[in-house]
Amino acid sequence: MREYIIADNQDITKAGMLFLLDGLKDVGNISEVDNRSELIKEFRSFPEAVVILDYTLFDFGGADELLILHERFPKIDWILFSEDLSEEFVKRILYSSQSFSFVMKDNSKEEITSALQCAMHKERFICNHISNMLIGKQNTLPKETVLTNTEKIILKEIALGKTTKEIAAERNLSFHTINSHRKNIFRKLEVNNVHEAIKYAMRAGIVDLAEYYI
């Protein structure tokens, strides 16, 4: 069970998040804060919470201040939930820690819910908008660099013939969470089916031929 802190000063956003959290299992205390001082106070009470933060609406002086706060409370998981985030900011945060997830306020209900579920299990979630931003600007990098460690593991298990239900059971996660990872993997790698995903996993060295044909 995880506690959630909604760090946003827009009432409609808070109401929407409360509605989505109400539909999830294993959600503990939910608190709301309007500024950084209140946020730090909640961190002291709930040092392993998930914080849903609209960084653009809070009094942070830059990415470094956010990362310093993360260092003070290393067990906190972050969902950065905003209308707009710069590419520079996203890269700075994304490459600094696995504890930060990204989702935009105009994302679908499904994507936002997936972000909440992943954070509950300490798994990173990166929405389509942010992934497309990074892929579009980093065409010179291998595609597998945009996959999270969890996504690489799930891709390997898919390549080894495991079903979404089997992967979910082995990792003690919901079918929906694994299915969301699966969709993100296919989108990031620009593949349309399992066969193409398997070929990619082999080319990238995520799974080798010996494992595949056992």
Q: Quick check: 116 and 122 in contact, CB under 8 A?
A: no
Q: What pTM, to 2 d.p., does this model score?
A: 0.65
Question: Lowest-pLDDT range, 10-19, 31-40, 104-113, 145-154?
Answer: 145-154
Q: Quick check: 101 and 79 in contact, CB under 8 A?
A: yes
Q: Cβ-count burial of 16 within 10 angstroms (0-12 exposed, 13-18 middle, 19+ buried)?
A: middle
Average pLDDT, the chain: 85
Those residues with Cβ within 8 angstroms of residue 92's Cβ, 6 or more apart along the chain or in another chain: 63, 67
In the chain, pLDDT over 70 holds for what percent of residues?
91
Give the pair of three-digit tokens for residue 28.
Answer: 């503990």
What is the mean pLDDT of the segment spanning 47-74?
Answer: 92
Tokens 């593991």 identify what position? Answer: 153
Q: Could you report the per-residue pLDDT of 77-130, keeping only the tens digit for each?
A: 999 999 888 888 998 898 888 899 999 998 889 889 999 999 989 988 988 888
**Which one is predicted more confidently, 137 or 60?**
60
Q: Which residues pair with residue 104 across a beta bridge?
A: 82
State residue 26's pLDDT score: 86
Strands 77-82 and 100-104: parallel
